[in-house]
Amino acid sequence: MVLLAFYVFNVIGPNLLAFTLVIAGIALVILELKKPGIQVFGILGIICLTLSVFIQYAQRPYVNIIEYAPPLAFFLLAVSTFIVITIQKASKALSMKKPTLEERLVGKVGIAKTPISPAKPGVVYVEGETWTAYSSEEIREGEKVVVEKVSGLTLYVKKT
């Protein structure tokens, strides 16, 4: 806003204003891509870039801006659509819920690496990881087990 006021009062020329708006627009779009969220920075960046193009071409008497308006509008619409879709997908991906340990392991089949008894915990191999496991029944080494419950980093298993 300050830059536009300086331009209106002839403090700065159109070239400096257009250059500054391009820099600000690029910075705002990059900020939106780094920190997706409300999409305000991306929209402001696109507005700054659009204003800079119009200010740059408006000062040239030999350029008829109306000739370039349809391709320019198409380009700006395409870039804006791409940025909005990218930001929405990134926002959605960031807000997706990661499955909890219990959701990931309950019902999975594993192998007992050591004997497990009600009195003594053992070790089981489930989903590519080794876990401490308890069981209410005797399980021998090498037997297949199913995860019934997860408590912290301990599994409760039974024979399959």
Q: Which helix (H) or strand (E) holds 131?
A: strand 129-135
**Where would I find the H helices in 59-146?**
65-95, 101-105
- The residues, any chain, with a CB within 8 Å of residue 125's CB and separated by 6 or more, are 110, 111, 113, 131
Q: Is-above-0.75 flag for pTM?
A: no
DSSP state of 137: S
Task: Tell me the pLDDT of the chain averaged across its residues.
Answer: 84
Structure tokens at 92: 């959605």
pLDDT tens column, 93-128: 878 788 788 888 899 999 999 999 988 999 999 989
Rounded to whole angstroms, the Cα distance separating 43 from 33 reads: 11
Q: What are phi and psi of 31, to 5 degrees?
A: -60, -40
Question: Quick one: average pLDDT of 61-75?
Answer: 73
Closest Cα partner for 76 from 43, 46, 41, 33? 46
Q: Which amino acid is at 62?
A: Y
The answer to whether 132 touches 157, Cβ cutoff 8 Å, is no
Question: Which pLDDT belongs to residue 2?
Answer: 66
Rounded to whole angstroms, the Cα distance separating 160 from 157 reads: 9
Question: Which pLDDT belongs to residue 7?
Answer: 64
pLDDT > 80? residue 37 = no
pLDDT tens column, 8-28: 666 666 678 788 888 898 898
